[in-house]
Amino acid sequence: MDTQPKIDELTVFFDADCQICRRAHRWIARQPKFVRIKFLPLQTENLVERFPGIDQFDLREELTVLGPQGQIWQGLDGWLMVLWALEVWRGRAIEFAQPHWRPLARRLIVELSNNRYRLSSLLSNGDEDDLREVLAQPAPSCAQDNCELKVNP
């Protein structure tokens, strides 16, 4: 007998002031899903009253996903849950959750999160050459759970 609670809906909190976050929201919304995903901007009025205890999480720094039984996933685990909910990406989410892929996936999410406003400004300014240069950075190398990504300031 399966003792895991059924996950039939996820709530994703996102920063509506962040261009990258809004684009990710639109992309996720267009994907076929196994699990319904609701999106809630961090700027939503009465957010803390609607979700008591949510203020203990740093919602502006990490993607935060709420499960139907009150489970919280943040950062990499939040992204893995979102990908797991998507029909086309579930297999990749399961792969990225494996111990040998987690360090690389975590580093990618950390770099994206840490640079989201810079990337957002590139997107909102429409400077595709600058964005292309940022995205052309070499992939990080991971050895023994230690990933390095060299990003030019």
pLDDT digits (tens, 9 = 90+) for 11-60: 999 998 888 888 889 999 999 999 999 999 999 999 999 999 998 998 88
CATH 2.130.10, applies to 9-96: no
pLDDT of 138 reads 59
Which stretch of DSSP H or E encloses residue 100?
Answer: none
In order of 5, 15, 101, 116, 134, the CA distances from 140 in angstroms are: 36, 26, 12, 18, 13
**Structural domain spans, the chain:** 9-96, 102-148
pLDDT of residue 133: 60
Tell me the pLDDT tens digit for each residue of 89-124: 999 999 999 999 999 888 888 888 777 777 767 666
Question: Taking the mean position of all CA atoms in its chain, how far away is CA 109?
Answer: 7
pLDDT over 50 (residue 149): no
Predicted confidence at residue 87, as pLDDT, reads 97
Give the pLDDT of residue 40. Answer: 93
71, pLDDT greater than 90: yes
State the pLDDT at residue 62.
87
What's the pLDDT score for residue 152?
A: 39
Q: Which amino acid is at 68?
A: P
Arithmetic mean of pLDDT over the chain: 81
- Render the burial of 36-72: b for 16+ CB within 10 Å, e for the rest: ebebbbbeeeeeeeebeebeeeebeebbbbbbeeeeb
